[in-house]
Amino acid sequence: MNRRSFLSSAGALLAARSLNALAPLQSSQGSGNSAGKADHFIRIEPCTLDIGHGVTIKTTAYNGQVPGPLLRLREGVRVTIDVTNAGTSSDLVHWHGLAIDSLNDGAMEEGSPMIAAGSTHRYTFTPKPSGTRWYHTHAAAYGDLSVGTYSGQFGFLLIEGKEQPARYDQEINLAIHHWEPSFVPMVETMREQSSNMPLTTGSDVGYKYATINAHMLGAGEPIRVKQGQRVLMRLLNASATENVVLALPGHSFKIIAMDGNPVPNPRTVEVLSLAVAERVDAVVEMNAPGVWVLGSTLQKSRQMGLGIVVEYAGKTGDPVWKDPPAVEWDYTQFANTAEAPAPDETFVLTFRDIGSLHGSQFDTWTINNKSWPDTDPLLVQQGKRYRMVLRNGSGDQHPIHLHRHTFEVTRIGKKPISGLMKDVINVMPLDTVEVDFIANNPGGTLMHCHQQLHMDYGFMQLIKYKG
């Protein structure tokens, strides 16, 4: 079943009730039994989510909460997870950032099975590598903005290894999401409201509300801290299409990991950029007592709700926001300056949009002038190192995700780097980024733009192993 035939059989999914995701984390160790009781249970179900004062969202979520239940697993310990689909349409769950087999990865393009409405499917895998991963639906949406990653189907997936990422006193998981999507023209108003800042015209998706975890700014409980604490913040952009830029006035973020992988050069920054599906682990030293807003650097996004209050013990008053200095996000500052090893083979991949086709109001996307499912697969041989030259020939930003593998970022524009390991990289308009991966996990492997709108309309390609 391809994404288009899946859509034609899909009904509208309904929607989500909130859970305070700042609750203490619970550790778990799976047994990995393929028979008997599963280690974890997830239920895809409609529910209602109260995100702000008088603002109610109907969506689909996991176990009636947004984000879904925290899954804390042990690296190398086999686990079973039963997923029950209590919705009205077929669906599936993708375990984002894990090096697991294609059947359990959760992408229909790789051969993962869809879960029919009313059915339960058991995923069985050995989680690796360690770090901040996440899980989410990988269903198509096309013009139905109530399904796919537009919905509340996402949650944190923390894989614990032998080493702690850093010394900290408190850990907090913060997931960003946008709600009430609608079709809008991609014009000047979108540039003012969106961190994506498109350069071209056409149809796009805009949003009415935004949340961090289950609530808009000013609703729900604040992050409560004490002076002198070191807080580990795990930040996830779980939006369907919106890249975000965040700041916490009076504080800085020491970035220690990206997409769950330790960075070779931890750096302290005042502003964070998170493309769709990216994660950042950052340590924040609480040394500016007061009541602050951690939120979007865009005023209109904060007005939509994209923020959360940070409150020091013993401090009261209205939360304070101060605009940070304007800076450009630079991946290279977290990497090594030495060049990466030469690859065994290089694939040059050029992305473009070719306008709307077949009556669609959205642009169709191509890789080397072909659109999914007609894109040519990339053929690789196990054990070899491959370089993908990602050439963005469009005016949009593209967060490129590689399934089942971790890649090394080897060049941003004209600057060679090494050591920065990720599974999502944001390629800016008319820019080129190079990434290397080792073909060390045989099976069908999907590469795509993680913006739901782009993925649905052609921006996907498979990697296949020879032999």
Which domains does the chain carry?
3-160 (2.60.40.420), 170-329 (2.60.40.420), 345-465 (2.60.40.420)
Amino acid occupying residue 421: M
Closest C-alpha to 344, from 398, 388, 407 = 388
Count of other CB atoms within 10 angstroms of residue 383: 9
How much is the pLDDT for 5?
42
pLDDT bin (cut points 50, 70, 90) of residue 190 is very low
Q: Which tokens is 344 given? A: 């065994």
Cα separation of 265 and 117, whole Å? 46
pLDDT digits (tens, 9 = 90+) for 28-45: 334 455 678 999 999 999
Q: 279: how many CB neighbours lie within 10 A of its CB?
A: 27
Query: Mean pLDDT in the chain?
Result: 90
In tens, the pLDDT along 115-148 reads: 999 999 999 999 999 999 999 999 999 989 999 9
Quote the CA–CA distance of 278 and 305 in Å, as a whole number.
Answer: 20
HSE of 140, CA atoms in CB hemisphere, 13 A: 22
The closest of 59, 61, 95 to 79, measured between CA atoms, is: 95
Side chain identity at 419, as an amino acid letter?
G
Scored b (16 or more CB within 10 A) or e, 350-367 reads: ebbbeeeeeeeebbbbbb
Extract the tokens encoding 254: 């020491």
Alpha helices in 45-129, H assignment, sequence order: 102-105
Tell me whether the omega of the peptide bond preceding residue 343 falls within 30 degrees of 0, making it cis.
Answer: no
pLDDT band at 357, cuts 50/70/90? low
pLDDT at 197: 53
- Indicate the pLDDT class of residue 359, thresholds 50, 70 and 90: low
**pLDDT of 1 over the 80 cut:** no
Instruction: Determine which of 174-183, 265-274, 355-364, 431-440 has the lowest per-residue pLDDT on average.
Output: 355-364
User: Is the per-residue pLDDT at 378 higher than 80?
Assistant: yes
Q: Could you report the per-residue pLDDT of 323-339, keeping only the tens digit for each?
A: 999 899 999 999 999 99
Q: How confident is the model at residue 164 (pLDDT cuts 50, 70, 90)?
A: confident
DSSP designation for 430: T
Q: Rounded CA gap, 253 and 61, in Å?
A: 30
Closest of 281, 264, 262 to residue 272, by C-alpha = 281
pLDDT band at 78 (very low <50, low <70, confident <90, very high): very high
pLDDT above 90 covers a percentage of the chain that reads: 83
Local structure of 360: helix, strand or coil: coil
8 Å CB contact between 90 and 78: no
The 10s digit of each residue's pLDDT in 87-114 is 999 999 999 999 999 999 999 999 999 9
